[in-house]
Structure 1
């Protein structure tokens, strides 16, 4: 009876090690996938920041032209029109910059779903 018990214990330990190994591989795959997804989102956020910088530079040019035209003419019509366009571009640039910076926060890049799965798996292992 003793050899049969040893074989079943060895078999059980082997099964546990195999399942634990499979679980770790699955969690690593999930973490890698989640980090890839978060990095793609960060790339989009960087694109928004670049677009914001381009628009902000355009806004500064338009605002400078508006100030020059306003001071030169003092009739305010062409200058105020350029000023309105410049303020609108600056507002769009600000919105894009805010969104891009918000999306780049480290908390949004961390693999939070994987961390939750690992915690749940650890609780399950402790329970077993």
Structure 2
């Protein structure tokens, strides 16, 4: 013999990790309960995070929308005063009433063109074609609106 003992032939065992120890000692039911509990906690935390992020985004979006609304009011006032200036400039060549009518007609034409363009854009709107396509691919058993065969 070369001086080795039977104990030297047994590979040394490292201590079990926490996962290995749980795998040896817990039943499948206990593991599933633990998994289910951890999954529920994770989903709850993800939902809370999503709510917090959505709230912050909505707050920031609200501030931005308010600033756009203020800019729109400013633009409207500028447009009104520019229209009045044009009316007064035309009034130096003609009666002020006719100048006001000319400015009003110009704005009526601009409005009609914008309405026409907006209506065309709305008519060309396609909705949600990709969503409709993917919803059509849902198996009948998962679709709550259809009775399964």
- More helix as a share of residues: 1
- TM-score calculated relative to the size of structure 1: 0.49
Q: Over alpha carbons, which structure has the higher Rg? A: 2
Higher relative contact order (CA 8 A, sep 6+): 1
- TM-score calculated relative to the size of structure 2: 0.43
